[in-house]
């Protein structure tokens, strides 16, 4: 096929012009909703206005993430200024070819529901395009603007943004060569929590057909806690806890104050970890009794989403690089005592330590990092897989330790999953020579799942505990009969 200098696609609101990049095309910053500013700031997303002529889509659109001077994150996620933050990026090998009907991947970025950007070079869809998958990355409102409780405003505005983006995909993706009947949603960290939230939402059913959750961090913020945080934020801002009150506070000021509102009052260095372990994330999807009627685990257990195949997994040491920085201070403190300070009761503590002998031999800092990893991420893998019963579910672990960081840490799996090992920032987390075979295996499984609905190893739902281990000890099998046995004391 002869490539036109500028690929142009006609969608419902008008025409968009992208750019060719080798064998595929990219379209950036296409609005799926109007900018959430002015009267629309705390509103549900509103469809974009149609436009005349051809809209340029050759540069990333504005992001909800704002620039923080000196900020350094594991994944490079640029902040793009501007007001029209509700947009999608589409990567496709078949623009303007509806008959291609290729499978579609929609990716939701992470960042604790307060940070993150769809403009990361790690989320580029080039490798998926190479393998015949149309790829979409979406933006959404973050922090309090997206998820805070506001009297007089719709709840879960960030969740409504996800739904609006998925509805945009259903309506428009055929124009980019995608099949709206074969949509897989995926995300990492908070993005992994997002896709599980959607899987458990009755209102989202039918908008996607498969789910892959990488290191999912569920929020499921209780309504009472959301109201308390909102009142605290209003007090810090000096306004009433209403839509009109919060509307008088600039977005940048609210972003600054939301961190203070969510921070524990105690100066104890463990206080923040305890809040995370006991209460979870402060800002994120709220169990509002309406859009999200019940916590995700309960919803999945009741059978919502049971017809949708699911893959989920985590890295072995999501959090250990944080506690590792204190290993010298912790080396003389017994692991059992340290876990007690994190309020793990004695009986479960004993069982947990017995199941984690290899980690215990690495020292107390390693045990604490693994424990927080397990409570926040890995125990949830087991709970969700078990809650799904016989519904098609596959589990995996990413076990390859970074030669730079020393652990299979949070975010390390993302460039392997996207097969983008040469992207900016990968060497800083994965070293200068990350194993290409590992990227081929993990990315290949993702492509297989998006294309065919199964990732290529036996399902957990067929034999509880069955787990694919990516990057583990080469002397051990790739598939473990109970790959998450070490977290079962916490489940």
What pLDDT score was predicted for residue 337? 94
Of 91, 197, 174, the C-alpha closest to 135 is 91
> For residues 110 and 307, what is the distance between their CA atoms, to the nearest angstrom?
25
> For residues 412 and 429, what is the distance between their CA atoms, to the nearest angstrom?
7
Length of the chain: 491
> For residues 93 and 387, what is the distance between their CA atoms, to the nearest angstrom?
37
Which residues are annotated as catalytic?
A: 189, 318, 410
What pLDDT score was predicted for residue 69? 79
Q: DSSP string of 454-487?
A: --SS--TTTSTT-EEEES--TTS-SEETTTTGGG
If DSSP codes are grouped into helix, strand and coil, which group holds residue 106? strand
What pLDDT score was predicted for residue 276? 83
For the chain, first and last CA: distance in Å?
54
What pLDDT score was predicted for residue 1? 45
Could you tell me if 87 and 139 are in contact, meaning their C-beta atoms sit under 8 angstroms apart?
yes
8-223: which CATH number, 3.40.50.510, 3.90.850.10, 3.40.50.1460, 3.40.50.1820?
3.40.50.1820
Question: pLDDT tens digits for 155-214?
Answer: 999 999 999 999 999 999 999 999 999 999 999 999 999 999 999 999 999 999 999 999
Q: How many CB atoms lie within 10 A of CB 348?
A: 12
* Below-70 pLDDT ranges, the chain: 1-4, 266-270
3-state percent helix, strand, coil for the chain, nearest multiple of 5: 40, 15, 45
What pLDDT score was predicted for residue 376? 95
Q: Is the dihedral of CA 330, 377, 313, 432 positive or negative?
A: negative
Q: DSSP string of 163-194?
A: HHHHHHHHHHGGGGTEEEEEEEEEEETHHHHH
CA distances from 221 to 34, 161, 227, 289, 375 (A): 27, 18, 10, 12, 16
> For residues 40 and 85, what is the distance between their CA atoms, to the nearest angstrom?
12
Q: How many CB atoms lie within 10 A of CB 107?
A: 26
Parallel/antiparallel/unpaired status of strands 8-11 and 14-17? antiparallel
Task: Tell me the domain boundaries of the chain.
Answer: 8-223, 309-490
């Amino acid at each position: 096929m002869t490539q036109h200098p500028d690929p142009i696609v006609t969608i419902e609101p008008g025409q968009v012009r992208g750019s060719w990049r080798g064998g595929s095309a990219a379209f950036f910053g296409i609005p799926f909703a109007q900018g959430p500013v002015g009267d629309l700031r705390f509103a549900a997303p509103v469809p974009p206005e149609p436009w005349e002529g051809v809209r340029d889509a050759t540069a990333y659109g504005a992001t909800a993430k704002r620039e923080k001077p000196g900020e350094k994150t594991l994944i490079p996620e640029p902040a793009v200024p501007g007001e029209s933050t509700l947009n999608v990026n589409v990567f496709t090998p078949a623009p303007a070819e509806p008959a291609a009907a290729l499978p579609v991947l929609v990716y939701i970025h992470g960042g604790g529901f307060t940070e993150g950007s769809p403009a990361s070079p790690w989320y580029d869809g080039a490798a998926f395009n190479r393998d015949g998958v149309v790829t979409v990355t979406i933006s959404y409102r973050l922090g309090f603007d997206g998820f805070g409780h506001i009297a007089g405003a719709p709840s879960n505005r960030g969740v409504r943004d996800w739904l609006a983006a998925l509805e945009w995909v259903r309506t428009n993706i055929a124009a980019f060569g995608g099949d709206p009947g074969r949509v897989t949603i995926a995300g990492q960290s908070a993005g992994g929590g997002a896709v599980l939230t959607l899987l458990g939402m009755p209102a989202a059913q039918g908008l996607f057909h498969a789910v892959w959750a990488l290191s999912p961090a569920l929020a499921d913020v209780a309504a009472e806690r959301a109201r308390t945080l909102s009142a605290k934020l209003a007090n810090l801002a000096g306004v009433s806890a209403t839509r009109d009150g919060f509307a008088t506070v600039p977005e940048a000021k609210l972003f600054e104050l939301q961190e203070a509102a969510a921070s524990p009052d105690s100066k104890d260095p463990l206080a923040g970890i305890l809040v995370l372990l006991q209460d979870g994330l402060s800002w994120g999807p709220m169990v509002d009794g309406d859009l999200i009627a019940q916590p995700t685990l309960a919803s999945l257990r009741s059978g919502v989403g049971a017809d949708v195949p699911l893959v989920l997994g985590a890295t072995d040491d999501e959090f250990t690089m944080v506690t590792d920085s204190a290993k010298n201070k912790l080396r003389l403190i017994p692991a059992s005592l340290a876990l007690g300070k994190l309020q793990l009761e004695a009986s479960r503590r004993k069982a947990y330590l017995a199941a984690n002998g290899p980690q215990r031999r690495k020292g107390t800092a390693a045990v604490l990092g693994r424990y927080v990893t397990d409570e926040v991420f890995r125990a949830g893998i087991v709970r969700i897989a078990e809650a799904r019963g016989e519904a098609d579910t596959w589990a995996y672990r990413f076990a390859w330790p970074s030669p730079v960081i020393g652990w299979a840490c949070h975010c390390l799996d993302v460039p392997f999953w996207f097969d983008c090992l040469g992207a900016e920032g990968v060497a800083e987390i994965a070293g200068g020579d990350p194993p290409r075979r590992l990227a081929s295996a993990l990315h290949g499984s993702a492509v297989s799942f998006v294309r065919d609905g199964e990732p290529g190893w036996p399902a957990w739902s067929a034999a509880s505990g069955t787990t694919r281990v990516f990057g583990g000890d080469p002397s051990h099998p790739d598939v473990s009969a109970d790959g998450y046995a070490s977290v079962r004391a916490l489940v």
